[in-house]
Chain A
Amino acid sequence: MGRYVIRRLLQMIPVFIGSTFLIFFMVYALGDPVAALFGDRAPDPATAAQIRHDLYLDHSLPAQYIHYMGNLFKGDFGTAFNGQSVLQLMGDAFPVTIRLTIVAIIFEIIIGITLGVLTGMKRGKPVDTGVLLLTLVVISVPTFVTGYVLQYIFGVQLKWTAPSVSPSAPFNELILPGLVLALVSLAYVTRLTRTSIAENTRGDYVRTAVAKGLPRRRVIIRHLLRNSLIPVVTFIGTDIGALMGGAIVTERIFNIHGVGYNLYQGILRNNAPTVVGFVTILVLVFLIANLLVDLLYAVLDPRIRYA
């Protein structure tokens, strides 16, 4: 097990190099960022050349990449066009986004799994039908709309909460945004849990457990749920990245200056240091999340072992 973990951690190195290069290349492929700095005015060639020189953009792609990586190992993640260091941008954005993601995942786990168990046990009952309808709504109505409507109801009409999150973004202000962010994933988690539960209710071990006369709660939690969780855990593992990097809409609705927004700005402005910096950290987060998921497999199903 220990060796397995070490091996997995070592695999981060090629992934790190691969993803930085891929993203660097993709931002490069977006095109020249300098002309856009001048707004609608045509850039004067000398100033543009000076800016390219200052940003090391007047070199070939491989040279730019090596220069970037060299700086990276010195702890210099580069600078965004507004003059802020990318390191500082990340330092501001990641804590907020991590808090938002935690809230969302807690919602996924608590609401998603609860609803999944409920509907899985009561297939065809009104509660199952009701949850299915909610699922359809969540999938069909854009996050922008659900987010805006909830924000309007709770922020403007009921005044339970401020419509926008304050810059420090404490947990209690992130409850509504976290719920909005979690909505689509909730649909997945609920239906995955429901399906697993429904399948496993037919499993031998459940029959055995019931035959032994174990209490219902224990059957559900100890046997049914535990064995049903692997797909759910896998999904949540894959979802962490989407939640952290792709929360652009939610972040905008609630004015959260998180990873999604910074990444989006970096991409629109073709700013390689910003994009590569943020994505690299995100990829490392996936690697760790996936490792944890794999380790959780072994916890949930003791038959699975890692050499």
Chain B
Amino acid sequence: MRGATRVKWAAGAVVVALAAGACGGGSSGGGGSTNGIVRASWGDPQNPLEPADTNEVQGGKVLDMIFRGLKKYNPKTAAAENWIAQSITSTDSQTFDIKLKSGWTFSNGEPVNADSFINAWNYGAALKNAQLNASFFAPIAGYAQVHPDATGASAVTDKLSGLHKVSDTEFTVKLSSKFALFPDTLGYSAFYPLPQSFFTNHSAWLAKPIGNGPYEISSYTKGTGMNLVKWDGYKGSDAASNKGVDLRVYTDNNTAYTDLQAGNLDLVDDIPASQLKNVKNDLGSRYINVPAGIIQTIAFPLYSSRWNTPNSAKIRQGLSMAINRQQITQQIFQNTRTPASDWTSPVLGDAGGFKQGLCGQECTYNPSKAKQVIAQAGGLPGGHITISYNADTGSHKEWVDAVCNSINNALGNNTACVGAPVGTFADFRNKITNKQQNDPFRAGWQMDYPLIQDFLQPQYYTNASSNDSHYSNANFDNLVNQANAASSSSESVSKFQDAEKQLVIDMPAIPLWYQNGSAGYSSNVSNVFLNPFSVPVYNEINVK
């Protein structure tokens, strides 16, 4: 289970560069009557809009409007509910029998059947298609043959041997190892079905993607905007309650916000940081600020000699205690983030594994103790540290400076910690991937699916896909394995929480805060809310 971060990096991108926006992209123009159409802000998708190639939130937003998969995450509770799937059953947690509801079609009239899924998943997994989300198919048997892991290796076949068609409405999935929660991952966009036209006329499909969701695309101008209209043939129970959505690309969320103020836009799903102080004044009750499945942390390069000494865990704990999360979330983020006290997210709910205060005093601001702990552990390595972040997306500078100032105040040394900007996200990621970090760096995690497993395993399991700290602890791994093999979800959750307690001791990453989704809307629309992924639930929006 690769983690998911599809938004992590987009979350940043959104903040500054890709704000969203909306104002009738060409068709409905400025203010006034919008004929039942929602005018919403958007950012230019980073990749072509193929389900298995979209790993950021802007493209994902559209896919979630034009596609429905086997499962859908409830926009309010985050629970994975059967959608196109009639049932997904397994006797051994390894082979799953998937039955489809009948009567579903794509908006071009093609039926949604077992082949729609099998072909789509084969396409997504095949190495030659170089899909960014290919790794989501890794649990399926035969993945190694269609997508060998080593550089330069070539695929033996382009069909996953674990996928087997039983009938038009039934297929089976065999995994290479047991994974009881597999069905709950199937709401992710990489697992959406694809129509034949995707394969027969690929470029036409990319120019105007065709799906099976509540909306269909009426026009798409790359880099500018997209007009979606309600698809009347949609079979699901979540049909659009508006006539359509005009997505308009904004390159700066400040502009989208200004357009909202001017009445040219109905929905901005990313309030610019600089307007957070004014937003309640400007919008009143039309401002949304709700928890989302995103946590931000400061990760440490545990491979670096500066951070792999016996005492360095103590130093990390000391640093964590030196950060005044409460004050920073208040003053810098205007309460659009909540101080973190574990490594998951409140959207999981208590039953799902979120546990406030799990981290205990190690995540509680206590400057005098912080100073004492760090001093006892021999002080900061080399006397000072940097916190590195990418400068091109997201307004990371402000909070990194604030975190450093908090640490500096606790330690009584104004240069103990300084921010270290890196020019581009690409450079930043390359330094992390190539293990070239010597000091802590900003990290964030946006869940792919609302499971505690998704917050812990991809980031902290030995050699996991997003284990940027290269943290490795036998006890943690062992508890995660037990959790995955657990027979009940409550037992699984409690094992995951036991594993999480190991993170308190080793502190491979300091939890900072849970990020909220924020949005603002015009008086033209109502019933606007955000799902746990901080994406607006477009199909529920009513237009006056």
Direct contact of A and B (CB under 8 A): yes
In A28-80, which residues have CB < 8 Å from any B CB? 30-33, 35-51, 54
Question: Is the Cβ of A255 less than 8 Å from the Cβ of B149?
Answer: no
How many Å lie between the Cα of A159 and that of B262 in the bound state? 7
B239 partner residues in chain A, CB cutoff 8 A: none
Among A108-116, A147-155, A203-211, the stretch in contact with B: A147-155
Question: Is the Cβ of A156 less than 8 Å from the Cβ of B250?
Answer: no
Question: How many chain B residues touch A (Cβ–Cβ < 8 Å)?
Answer: 72
A33 partner residues in chain B, CB cutoff 8 A: 426
Question: Is the Cβ of A54 less than 8 Å from the Cβ of B426?
Answer: no
Among A16-24, A82-90, A180-188, A284-292, the stretch in contact with B: A82-90
A148 partner residues in chain B, CB cutoff 8 A: 254, 258
Asked, given contacts A40-B443, A257-B249, whether A155 binds B262 with beta carbons under 8 Å apart, the answer is yes
B131 partner residues in chain A, CB cutoff 8 A: 47
Chain A residue with the shortest CB-CB distance to B250: A255
How many Å lie between the Cα of A81 and that of B2 in the bound state? 23
Name the distance in Å between A52's Cβ and chain B's nearest Cβ: 9
Question: Is the Cβ of A164 less than 8 Å from the Cβ of B264?
Answer: yes
Among B6-14, B372-380, B479-487, B514-522, the stretch in contact with A: B6-14
How many Å lie between the Cα of A33 and that of B433 in the bound state? 12
Question: Is the Cβ of B426 less than 8 Å from the Cβ of A270?
Answer: yes
Question: Is the Cβ of B150 less than 8 Å from the Cβ of A254?
Answer: no
Asked, given contacts A38-B132, A255-B21, A255-B251, whether A167 binds B258 with beta carbons under 8 Å apart, the answer is no
Question: Is the Cβ of A49 less than 8 Å from the Cβ of B151?
Answer: yes
Annotate B181-225 by CB proximity to A: 1 below 8 A, 0 otherwise.
000000000000000000000000010000000000000011111
Annotate B251-267 by CB proximity to A: 1 below 8 A, 0 otherwise.
11011101101101000
Q: Does B47 contact A (CB under 8 A)?
A: yes
A164 partner residues in chain B, CB cutoff 8 A: 21, 23, 250, 255-256, 258-259, 264
- Label chain B's interface by main secondary structure: loop
How many Å lie between the Cα of A152 and that of B48 in the bound state? 35
Name the distance in Å between A279's Cβ and chain B's nearest Cβ: 17
Chain A residue with the shortest CB-CB distance to B448: A41
Chain B residue with the shortest CB-CB distance to A83: B48
How many Å lie between the Cα of A44 and that of B426 in the bound state? 16
Interface size on A, as a range, is: 35 or more
A191 partner residues in chain B, CB cutoff 8 A: none
Annotate A248-263 by CB proximity to B: 1 below 8 A, 0 otherwise.
0001111101000110
Selected from A40, A51, A54, A155, the residue in CB contact (under 8 A) with B9 is: A40
Q: Does A163 contact B (CB under 8 A)?
A: yes
B55 partner residues in chain A, CB cutoff 8 A: 38-39, 41
Question: Is the Cβ of B44 less than 8 Å from the Cβ of A49?
Answer: no
Selected from B254, B261, B445, the residue in CB contact (under 8 A) with A253 is: B254
Among B24-32, B104-112, B344-352, B529-537, the stretch in contact with A: B24-32
Name the distance in Å between A180's Cβ and chain B's nearest Cβ: 13
A37 partner residues in chain B, CB cutoff 8 A: 46-47, 132
Q: Does A168 contact B (CB under 8 A)?
A: yes
Q: Does B153 contact A (CB under 8 A)?
A: yes
Asked, given contacts A30-B427, A164-B250, whether A45 binds B466 with beta carbons under 8 Å apart, the answer is no
Selected from A31, A46, A88, A253, the residue in CB contact (under 8 A) with B430 is: A31
Q: Identify 12 residue pairs between A and B in the complex whose beta-carbon atoms are under 8 Å apart, listed by A's number.
A: A36-B430, A37-B46, A38-B55, A38-B429, A39-B9, A40-B5, A42-B467, A46-B149, A83-B47, A162-B262, A255-B256, A268-B424
Q: Which positions in A face B, CB cutoff 8 Å?
A: 30-33, 35-51, 54, 81-84, 88-89, 92, 148, 151-152, 155-156, 159, 162-164, 166-168, 251-255, 257, 261-262, 265, 267-270
Extra pairs beyond A48-B151, A155-B258, A257-B249 (8, CB < 8 Å): A35-B433, A42-B466, A82-B48, A89-B223, A162-B23, A164-B256, A261-B251, A267-B424
